[in-house]
Amino acid sequence: MTRARMTQASPTAAPMPQAGTTQGDKKTRARRSDNALARLLRRPGAVVALAFLVLLTFAVIFADVVAPINPLTQDLARARELPSAAHWLGTDGFGRDIYSRLIHGGGATLGGAALAAIVAMAIGIPLGMLGGYFRGWVDTVVSRFADVFQALPTIVILMAVIGAFGNNNTVAMVALGVAMCEGFIRLARAMTLQVRRELYVDAASVAGITPASILVRHVFPNIRGPLLVQLSITAGAALLIQAGLGFLGLGTPPPAPSWGGMIDEASDLIYLHPWLLVPTGVIMILSILSFNVLGDALASDRPGGMLAGVRLPWMKPLPIAEQHVANSETLPADPKAVVSVRDLSVSFTDRSSTFAVVQNVSFDVMPGEALGIVGESGCGKSVTAKALLGLIAPGGKITGGQVVINGADVVGLKNRELRKVRGTTIALVSQEPMVALDPTFTIGAQLRESIAHHTGRKGRELNDRALELLRLVGMPDPAQAAASYTFQVSGGMAQRAAIALALTGEPDVLVADEPTTALDVTVQAEILDLLRRLREELGLAVIIVTHDLGVIADLCDRAVVMYAGQVIEQGSVDTLLTTPTHPYTRALLASMPSNAIPGLPLDAIPGAVPAPRDWPEGCRFAPRCAFATDACRSAPVPIVVQHGGLSRCIRVDEVLAASQVRTKERNIA
């Protein structure tokens, strides 16, 4: 495992089809060690818990060897002693060895708890899975069965069983297991209902796999985690109940040792010899704690994932943090621009490293202008847009640069100061309108609250302004829309309401982060019409983040193309989308089905966007670029003025020539 990880540490030359997640490469040798136990052993907490339980179990099984003193031998002369060499944990009220009684008595308690938990699991999981998978009458029967056991008090069942079968610990624990199966039934049922909707279950069913195999191979592994937590909780609870029975003198009748019985004995001497409670209490706490720690570790286990717990120092060298590089060639912020971004860099930190996701991004947005930020997923476009509002996901931070909004740099402002800027100068519309809007309030109430907050209006004025805004964003019936909840309106109408909400503070700039991606194409066209109208009527500047070059063509004056955290091309939309100067922009345009040359395969870009840790040294697009030379790969390429725009490419002339050839070919075809 360790060696496999070390070999792929070099960040250069992303391998073409295999480039995906960083973990993926050269992992074949690691296969053998990637089983559940190996993954478990990577968690220190789980290792300690497992070791404790294994040791305790062995000690209990080989009790006669581990604790040779007879637990029943009384020695009244040496009663109520504190720990000594002869009696490691002291003696009880009859002078019996506590250590020995603890080990010999563990069998009844630990074994009983394990038995109860296994019985509960063995009954509950299959029943719950059957109910969840087949639904219908099977589910009804299973659910009623669970209801019955939930309604019956456990202690009553246990008393009844002990009454009928005599004072037998094994029978009592099996009965306890049956009484506790209800939790497993409900959990397994709920989880199965969820997993059976997954597409791989559909795919298996299309492939002709029988329901029994689907349940065992596809459903069970995916619901295992929470069930293991349930198992650990059940084992802990069963241990307590078994001890409780012992306390009542049931299960294992005295003088035979049991943990519950020992607590009972300790309670008699609580003032005279309080030490008696300590060994039993500690071992029970540690046992239950170990069950829970182990359950938690198993629950979050996943093959091949990043959830391998804490990274121990010898496992992987920490990548060096990519620092913000100050760019001396950058022009100062433009005073005429409403938003002027200079050298903006954003880094994220996870468990193992700090890595840049956005580096040295600069652009300006003039009042009333529409700027598009375009790129594929993972290029940093959305992080850039959100950074303008000071909104960075947890773990991320702006590591350098300026964001000048209306003449003031907002980088480094405190949250309280940022809140004054957000909404009133710069506002955000996100991809999911349902995220921006609260489903528990009407659209009108949310608008009124936000208007009051930003403008201090009151009473009737508030309502009038809310209706005015809803009319402005093209709601057919503003009064009805104001009285609606978000779940009562369509996705397009919800996005209109979200735009109205963004406009309550009368901002100068609207940042729209993929505002139409979740919408149908005909609704998208309407939202774009709306944004265009708002620009005209309010003089609003718009920064739109999108992966769709058509959206840029429809709405924007200028565009910024991003790739692997950098701006690679910037310019007016009319030239950028018709005669791109960067090979990536050109390749994106050529890969679209609408720009295909009839009869030929699509001009696909080979490989995939590299992850932030795998960015190449030189031009980041070079490994996928048809125009790349050694010069491209050897050193970072600066972004410079080329053919009226900015381009981060040293082979612009070749790119333009190739585009002309392609246009001719396409026209002929």
Q: Which of residues 376-405 bind other proteins (CB under 8 A)?
A: 376-377
Nearer to other proteins, 293 or 549 (CB): 549
- At its nearest, how many Å lie between other proteins and the CB of residue 208? 3
Is 226 a residue that touches other proteins (CB under 8 A)?
Answer: no
Hey, which residues between 172 and 201 contact other proteins (CB under 8 A)? 198-200
Taking CB under 8 A as the binding criterion, the range among 12-20, 58-66, 235-243, 628-636 that sits at the site for other proteins is 12-20
Distance set, CA 380 to CA 107, 264, 411, 513, 546 (Å): 59, 64, 18, 12, 11
Structure tokens at 108: 């009844």
Q: Are 543 and 570 in contact (CB under 8 A)?
A: no
Hey, which residues between 485 and 504 contact other proteins (CB under 8 A)? 492
Q: How far apart are CA 196 and CA 131, in angstroms?
A: 12
Is 517 a residue that touches other proteins (CB under 8 A)?
Answer: no
Q: Are 596 and 602 in contact (CB under 8 A)?
A: yes
DSSP letters, 585-645, are HHHHHHTSGGGPPTTS---PPPS-PPPGGG--SS-TTGGG-TT--HHHHHSPPPPEEETTE
Taking CB under 8 A as the binding criterion, the range among 265-273, 291-299, 304-312, 644-652 that sits at the site for other proteins is 304-312
Taking CB under 8 A as the binding criterion, the range among 63-71, 106-114, 151-159, 594-602 that sits at the site for other proteins is 594-602
- At its nearest, how many Å lie between other proteins and the CB of residue 601? 5
Residue 559 phi/psi, 5-degree rounding, is -140, 150
Is 129 a residue that touches other proteins (CB under 8 A)?
Answer: no
Q: How far apart are CA 581 and CA 587, in angstroms?
A: 11
**Regarding beta strands 541-546 and 509-513, do their DSSP bridges make them parallel or antiparallel, or are they unpaired?**
parallel
- At its nearest, how many Å lie between other proteins and the CB of residue 46? 19
Is 204 a residue that touches other proteins (CB under 8 A)?
Answer: yes
Is 35 a residue that touches other proteins (CB under 8 A)?
Answer: no
Is 205 a residue that touches other proteins (CB under 8 A)?
Answer: yes
Taking CB under 8 A as the binding criterion, the range among 139-147, 205-213, 251-259, 645-653 that sits at the site for other proteins is 205-213
Is 213 a residue that touches other proteins (CB under 8 A)?
Answer: yes
Nearer to other proteins, 267 or 591 (CB): 591
Selected from 37, 207, 272, 435, the binder of other proteins by CB under 8 A is 207
- At its nearest, how many Å lie between other proteins and the CB of residue 201? 8
Selected from 31, 419, 458, 664, the binder of other proteins by CB under 8 A is 31
Q: Are 193 and 166 in contact (CB under 8 A)?
A: no
Q: What residues does 354 pair with on adjacent strands? A: 349
Structure tokens at 395: 């773990």
Is 591 a residue that touches other proteins (CB under 8 A)?
Answer: yes
Selected from 143, 595, 656, 666, the binder of other proteins by CB under 8 A is 595
List the strands of the sheet with 426-429, edge to edge.
Answer: 426-429, 509-513, 541-546, 370-374, 558-563, 566-572, 645-647, 640-642
Nearer to other proteins, 119 or 573 (CB): 573
Beta strands in 18-156 (DSSP E): none
- At its nearest, how many Å lie between other proteins and the CB of residue 620? 14
Nearer to other proteins, 198 or 617 (CB): 198
- At its nearest, how many Å lie between other proteins and the CB of residue 336? 24
Burial of 92 (0-12, 13-18, 19+ CB in 10 A): buried
- At its nearest, how many Å lie between other proteins and the CB of residue 332? 30
Q: How far apart are CA 133 and CA 31, in angstroms?
A: 32
Upstream peptide bond of 433 is cis (omega within 30 degrees of 0): no
Q: How far apart are CA 536 and CA 182, in angstroms?
A: 63
- At its nearest, how many Å lie between other proteins and the CB of residue 37? 15
Taking CB under 8 A as the binding criterion, the range among 78-86, 185-193, 252-260, 521-529 that sits at the site for other proteins is 521-529
- At its nearest, how many Å lie between other proteins and the CB of residue 129? 15
Nearer to other proteins, 34 or 75 (CB): 34
Burial of 45 (0-12, 13-18, 19+ CB in 10 A): middle
Selected from 240, 289, 434, 525, the binder of other proteins by CB under 8 A is 525
Nearer to other proteins, 376 or 506 (CB): 376
Is 592 a residue that touches other proteins (CB under 8 A)?
Answer: yes
Q: Are 125 and 187 in contact (CB under 8 A)?
A: no
Hey, which residues between 429 and 448 contact other proteins (CB under 8 A)? none
Q: What residues does 2 pair with on adjacent strands? A: none
Q: How far apart are CA 502 and CA 162, in angstroms?
A: 68
Selected from 603, 636, 658, 666, the binder of other proteins by CB under 8 A is 603
Q: Are 433 and 473 in contact (CB under 8 A)?
A: no
Nearer to other proteins, 339 or 588 (CB): 588
Is 313 a residue that touches other proteins (CB under 8 A)?
Answer: no
Task: Please name the residues in contact with 606: beta carbons below 8 A apart, sequence gap of 6 or more.
Answer: 16, 17, 624
Hey, which residues between 535 and 574 contact other proteins (CB under 8 A)? 547-554, 573-574
Selected from 151, 604, 661, 668, the binder of other proteins by CB under 8 A is 604
Supply the Cα-derived Rg of the chain in whole angstroms.
34
Task: Please name the residues in contact with 428: beta carbons below 8 A apart, sequence gap of 6 or more.
Answer: 386, 389, 391, 422, 436, 502, 510, 511, 512, 513
Q: How many CB atoms lie within 10 A of CB 612?
A: 21
Nearer to other proteins, 263 or 564 (CB): 564
Nearer to other proteins, 433 or 492 (CB): 492
Selected from 153, 208, 439, 599, the binder of other proteins by CB under 8 A is 208
Taking CB under 8 A as the binding criterion, the range among 75-83, 140-148, 404-412, 519-527 that sits at the site for other proteins is 519-527
Would you give the binding string for other proteins spanning residues 248-287, x where CB under 8 A is met? ----------------------------------------
Residues in the chain: 669
Is 608 a residue that touches other proteins (CB under 8 A)?
Answer: yes
Structure tokens at 571: 């310019």
Nearer to other proteins, 203 or 641 (CB): 203
Q: Are 343 and 361 in contact (CB under 8 A)?
A: yes
Q: How many helices (H) and strands (E) does the chain have?
A: 27, 12
Q: How many CB atoms lie within 10 A of CB 86?
A: 12
Is 235 a residue that touches other proteins (CB under 8 A)?
Answer: no
Selected from 21, 35, 170, 323, the binder of other proteins by CB under 8 A is 21
Is 351 a residue that touches other proteins (CB under 8 A)?
Answer: no
- At its nearest, how many Å lie between other proteins and the CB of residue 199? 4
- At its nearest, how many Å lie between other proteins and the CB of residue 537? 15
Would you give the binding string for other proteins spanning residues 459-488, x where CB under 8 A is met? ---------------xxx------------
Nearer to other proteins, 158 or 473 (CB): 473
Structure tokens at 333: 């912020």
